[in-house]
Structure 1
Amino acid sequence: MTDAPRPSADPDPDDAPDQPGPSASELLGAALGGAALRAGLDPADGAPTGHVVWRAMGGWRGILESVLPSLVFVVVFTVTYDPTAQAGNLWLSLGLSVGLAAIFTIIRLATKSPPSAAIGGLLATAGAAALALWTGRGQDNFVLGFFTNAAYGTAFLVSALIGWSLIGLAVGFLMSEGTRWRADKRKRRVFFWLAIAWAALFAVRLAVQLPLYFAGDVTALGTLKLIMGLPLFAPLVAVTWLAVRALYPPTRK
């Protein structure tokens, strides 16, 4: 009895069956998972929760880059506020804010640190400042943040309602299970509520800050923006991390 012929080591590409490309959910999961990895959020990692949250915020440098430009704007605008004109020194406030963001970016470039976060912050700060200078209203320095919160909140909410939680897509990529988590009722339920929680965070920010924007209260708006930033972001990162770790307990070696 003769052996069956083996396939050629280098088959003709024209004879090979077409391989389906990655689906949209897989591409999105890979993008979200990659972003989570860059932020230090890997469920397979055995790092303690506090350490993970600290990495997600970027450590001291990330916190300073996130907080100081907005803080400087609020403080300078408030100190220079003229009740008669009902406005602060917009040029000085925005100039110092953008200048500080630029310094953070230069430091990252000089120290050869990943500059993406600082560059993103600089572009966002400069764009918001340009809008405020164009309109001449200090509260317009926060408009881009409203659109960002609305976009993120809508994305998380829609993903939960249609059964394709963004959290689930990211975790599925990180844990090398793709979209198989959708066949597990427990995982689907947890990922649904995590996405709802993140959507609620962005919705609450808008609900609290928009009335202050329309009232033109720059000091209160800027202060609440800072309070509802990292202080709310960090606990939700911790809750998300703990929930995912409960679904995927680390394997003991």
Structure 2
Amino acid sequence: MSETAVPEGAGPTRSDAVETVESVVRQRLSEALGGRRGMIEAAVPTIFFTVLWLTTRELRTALIVSVAAAVALLVVRIVQRSTVQFVVNALVGIGIGALFVTLSARGGASEEEQALAYFLPGILYNAGYAVVMIATILIGWPLVGFMVGSVMGDPTEWHQDKQIVRLCGRLSWLLVLPCVVRVVAQGPVYLSGRSGALDADTAVAVLGVLKIVMGWPLQVAALTAMVWVLGRNHTPLERKPAVEAG
């Protein structure tokens, strides 16, 4: 967000006294997604895992290299003194995937089934996220509204303005749409690979491609749609005044 500079000690002008809901949500969404670099960093480990499994058939090697790639990205972030949040998120995702692989192995699953298990956490996460997001929209408390509330001085103050609630509801639908698409596309492939209806290696390859294609590109598409919605309106955002002592 760009704001007009105000000399120190000067009173607020109308341009900086009024902040729009749209500008706040744009900033918060950009921070949450991590920009293009953050989304690419999230895709890199999956690329390594999928390619190595399909070419070497060494599940452990695929996991180790994908972790090493994420750690290398983390080191670069640390050296550059930039936020490590998004690389850490990728590492956590790999760790959960590895846990599912381990649990699958302990359950007597074949290596092909273990490789499929690597993708299960992502499907479950998107399904759970979609359910929660849709629930908040249906009950009239869309999750995006709390982004607005975080800068209004009251996490629920925004809900008193029906115009803001409607805007946040539309934005929440756009935010949850990629999750729904991922589950609808990836879920049947995973189940087909597990049941034997689809060759396990083919299922792993398809899941790897879908995870990458439906990762940051799909998120960028959703964000573009949200920016378009935000660019059409200018809903004033009135911060809740601080309570004076005494």
Q: Superposition pairs for residues 176-187 of structure 1, below 5 Å?
A: 178-187=155-164
2:115 to 138, 152, 160: 138
Q: What TM-score, normalized to structure 1?
A: 0.68
Post-superposition offset of 1:201: 2.4
Answer yes or no: is 1:235 the counterpart of 2:191: no
Q: C-alpha distance in 2, partners of 1:204/1:120?
A: 21
User: 1 CA distance for matches of 2:149 and 2:115?
Assistant: 42
1:113 aligns with 2:99: no
Unaligned runs of 5+ residues in structure 2 are 1-20, 105-110, 194-202, 238-246
Q: What does 1:185-224 align with in structure 2 at a 5 Å threshold?
A: 185-216=162-193, 217-224=203-210
**For each residue in 1:172-196, what CA deviation from the matched residue of structure 2 results, as whole angstroms up to 9, or x when unmatched?**
3335575344343333222223223
1:238 is displaced (CA, Å) by: 2.6
- C-alpha RMSD of matched pairs (Å): 3.0
Amino acid at match of 2:224: A
Deviation at 1:95, TM superposition (A): 1.4
Q: For structure 1, list consecutive stretches of 5 or more residues without a partner in the other structure.
A: 1-41, 81-87
Count of residues paired in the alignment = 200
Q: Give the drift of 1:202.
A: 1.3
Query: Which is further off, 88-97 or 102-111?
Result: 102-111
Check conservation: 1:165, 1:195, Cα contact below 8 A. yes
With normalisation by structure 2, the TM-score equals 0.69
Taking the aligned partners of 2:229 and 2:143, their CA distance within structure 1 comes to 15
Q: Does 1:71 align with 2:47?
A: yes
Q: 1:146 to 1:218 in 2, by over 3 A?
A: same
Distance 1:235 1:147 in 2: 22
CA contact (8 A) 2:22 2:234 kept: no
Alignment of 1:1-253 (within 5 A): 43-44=22-23, 57-59=33-35, 61-80=37-56, 88-135=57-104, 136=111, 137-175=114-152, 178-216=155-193, 217-245=203-231, 246-248=233-235
Aligned-partner residue type, residue 61 of structure 1? R
Contact (CA 8 Å) 1:156, 1:166: kept in 2 or not? yes
Q: Distance in 1 between matches of 2:135 and 2:160?
A: 19
The answer to whether the 8 Å contact 2:50/2:205 transfers is: yes
How many Å separate the matches in 1 of 2:87 and 2:72?
9
- Per-residue CA deviation, residues 141-160 of structure 1 (Å, 9 max, x unaligned), is 11211221122111210110
Which amino acid is the alignment partner of residue 99 of structure 2? A
Q: Tell me what 2:243 maps to.
A: none
Cα gap change, 1:52 to 1:191, in 2 (>3 Å): closer
Q: Distance in 1 between matches of 2:116 and 2:216?
A: 20
Secondary structure of the 1:200 match is helix
Larger Rg: 1
